[in-house]
């Protein structure tokens, strides 16, 4: 079986706080390590009350310090919000502190609204897309220098190279990852309709690089697993209502399944939710395993990254434990 990994959004649920959510992410990382997951990523989001991971590099330092073997990283850093040298130095420092365990996933979306993006970038011009050049610039800061280039090197210097990934929910990043010879992670949970075309383009345009000899593709998918399919669907009510609220401009904390149960959905809202969660894998361990196997066979992915958002940490940790057992990451108890 291929490796499984975890995408954790440091979820802030109703009745909770960002401090509690961040503590739960640290506990989730330790749990994921014990269960045999390959890596755990956190993602950069801003002005989203339900997501506490606005500063991935800071959080990753805590995650790496709390664990010993699991890879930890950003899935991802939204590079247009930052100077490439700043990101290079942050992640070179993390790699120096935790050698061989740090991942740097790069995305080109702002990860927020336009007002917040302008505040982050200190610029009114959000239209120019310098992402390809910024990626190359960042990687060059991390690679050993011959001393002739007239630009700064990342401190703590060469030799501290995290594993650099490109992230995407479109064919743009897929093609760029292929051309630059980087591993590629596709956000299937964001853009299910582009999955096949993006992976095909990535592999067809891949050129070996100093960082990677052959294509390495990972697919991120939303999953909720519970002892019964009925309970998993009930837990997924939080995600469904949360998606609806975001898409209608009602940003807030992740609602509970009880809140989702009593919400008066209109037929139009139900249609929005059904379309949004069509790619989610929800069910008991057997159903989830079959769904993940089918996704791997469809995509020939080298790795699957699981995103699980539930109102309670206990339900989330149990979901990952059930998946790990069904996948053979841990022995059956």
Give the confidence band of 155 by pLDDT, cuts at 50, 70, 90: confident
pLDDT of 148 higher than 60: no
Give the confidence band of 114 by pLDDT, cuts at 50, 70, 90: low
Query: Which one is predicted more confidently, 64 or 129?
Result: 64
List the CATH code of the domain at 4-327.
Answer: 3.20.20.30
Average pLDDT over residues 79-104: 95
pTM (2 d.p.): 0.93
pLDDT of residue 109: 77
Average pLDDT over residues 325-330: 93
pLDDT of residue 119: 76
Average pLDDT, the chain: 92
Name the percent of the chain lying above pLDDT 90: 79
Per-residue three-class SS string for the chain: CCCEEEEECCECECCCCHHHHHHHHHHHHHHHHHHCCCEEEECCCCCCCCECCCCHHHHHHHHHHCCCCCEEEEEEEEHHHCCHHHHHHHHHHHHHHCCCCEEEEEECCCCCCHHHHHHHHCCCCCCCCCHHHHHHHHHHHHCCCCCCCCCCCCCCCCCCCCEEEEEECCHHHHHHHHHHCCCEEEECCCCHHHHHHHHHHHHHHCCCCCCCCCCCEEEEEEEEECCCHHHHHHHCHHHHHHHHHHHCCCCCCECCHHHHHHCCCCHHHHHHHHHHCCCCEEECHHHHHHHHHHHHHHHCCCEEEEECCCCCHHHHHHHHHHHHHHHCCCCCC
pLDDT of residue 157: 64
pLDDT of residue 330: 78
């Amino acid at each position: 079986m291929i490796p499984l990994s975890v995408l954790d959004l440091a979820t802030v649920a109703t009745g909770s706080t960002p401090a509690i959510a961040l503590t739960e992410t640290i506990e989730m990382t330790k749990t994921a390590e014990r269960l045999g997951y390959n890596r755990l990523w956190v993602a950069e989001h801003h002005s989203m009350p339900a997501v506490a991971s606005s500063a991935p590099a800071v959080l990753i330092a805590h995650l790496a310090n709390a664990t010993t073997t699991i890879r930890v990283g950003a899935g991802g850093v939204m590079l247009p919000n930052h100077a490439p040298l700043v990101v290079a130095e942050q992640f070179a420092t993390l790699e120096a502190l935790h050698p061989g365990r740090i991942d740097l996933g790069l995305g080109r979306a702002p990860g927020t609204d336009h007002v917040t993006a302008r505040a982050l970038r200190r610029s009114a011009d959000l239209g120019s897309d310098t992402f390809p050049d910024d990626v190359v610039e960042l990687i060059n800061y991390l690679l050993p220098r011959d001393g002739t280039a007239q630009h700064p090197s990342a401190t703590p210097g060469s030799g501290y190279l995290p594993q650099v990934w490109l992230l995407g929910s479109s064919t743009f990043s897929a093609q760029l990852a292929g051309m630059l010879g980087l591993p590629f992670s596709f956000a299937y949970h964001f853009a299910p309709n582009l999955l096949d075309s993006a992976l095909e383009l990535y592999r067809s345009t891949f050129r070996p690089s100093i960082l990677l000899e052959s294509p390495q593709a990972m697919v991120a998918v939303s999953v909720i697993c519970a002892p019964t399919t009925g309970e998993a669907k009930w837990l997924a009510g939080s995600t469904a209502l949360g998606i609806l609220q975001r898409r209608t401009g009602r940003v807030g904390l992740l609602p509970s399944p009880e809140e989702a149960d009593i919400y008066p959905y209109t037929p139009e809202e139900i249609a929005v939710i059904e379309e949004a969660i069509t790619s989610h894998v929800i069910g008991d361990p057997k159903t989830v395993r079959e769904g993940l196997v089918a996704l791997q066979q469809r995509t020939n992915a080298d790795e699957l990254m699981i995103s699980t958002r539930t109102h309670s940490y206990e339900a989330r940790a149990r979901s990952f434990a059930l998946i790990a057992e069904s996948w053979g990451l841990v022995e059956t108890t």
